[in-house]
Amino acid sequence: MAGTADTFDLGRFSGQCSHTGSVIAAGDAFIAALVEGTDESGRPVLRRADFSHDAWESGARPDRLMCFWRSTAPQAGERRPMLVDDETLMEMVQRDESHTDERRRAFRWILALVLLRRKMLRLDGIAQDNGAETWSFLRRGAVEGEAPLRIVNPKIRDEEVSELSEQLGAILRADA
């Protein structure tokens, strides 16, 4: 994965629709999206873009969309626990299963590690598959015979995993 954790500028809830420019008022449903881009020096970055429910439902999507989640705009001064719950994170990991893009694979890997830490996933095994280290995870409460989630280890450095996991946690928390 190119760059380090400081290349990710993900921002906070903007209160404004990225597509229409309209205000997303407290209590309104909206969609938060993580979008791939580059900074002024050409380094890869992820940025957050907020969309009103109506804009999203009418088909507005940013170019280079990595993932998205639905939420409700916070009240002024409201402190909320998480914008994205564990089930949504699980859906994001499963939805990105077929992507081969290096950055998406690294993002999926980080999500899986977050879910492993939260005990939503458990490690079922590690195998070498065509020269790649593939980790198999099972969902908490998986029934016998359930197919594991297989995720290729993108071989990012341990300190990057820690930093990216912390940043992801901060992104997923509601804004004060």
Query: Whole-angstrom Cα distance, residue 103 to residue 67?
Result: 12
Asked if residue 149 and residue 102 are part of one domain, the reply reads: yes
Contact in structure between 137 and 121 (CB atoms under 8 Å): yes
Q: What is the percent of the chain with per-residue pLDDT over 90, rounded to a whole number?
A: 19
pLDDT tens for residues 60-109?
999 888 778 888 888 877 665 555 677 777 888 887 666 667 777 788 88
Domain hosting residue 99, numbered range: 86-172
Asked if residue 67 and residue 42 are part of one domain, the reply reads: yes
Query: Whole-angstrom Cα distance, residue 31 to residue 55?
Result: 9
In a domain, 80, yes or no: no
Asked if residue 114 and residue 64 are part of one domain, the reply reads: no
pLDDT tens for residues 27-67?
999 998 888 777 787 776 778 899 999 999 999 999 888 77
User: How many domains does the structure of the chain reveal?
Assistant: 2
pTM value surpassing 0.75:
no
Structure token digits, residue 11 = 């921002």
Contact in structure between 103 and 7 (CB atoms under 8 Å): no
Asked if residue 93 and residue 55 are part of one domain, the reply reads: no
Three-state SS string over 114-143 comes to HHHHCCCEEEEEEEEECCEEEEEEEECCCC
Asked if residue 153 and residue 122 are part of one domain, the reply reads: yes
Query: Whole-angstrom Cα distance, residue 26 to residue 98?
Result: 36
Asked if residue 54 and residue 99 are part of one domain, the reply reads: no
pLDDT tens for residues 140-150?
888 888 889 88
In a domain, 81, yes or no: no
What one-character DSSP code corresponds to residue 75? P
Asked if residue 58 and residue 115 are part of one domain, the reply reads: no
In a domain, 79, yes or no: no
Contact in structure between 88 and 69 (CB atoms under 8 Å): yes
* Tokens 């290729």 sit on residue: 152
* Tokens 């992104």 sit on residue: 171
Whole-number pLDDT of residue 1: 33
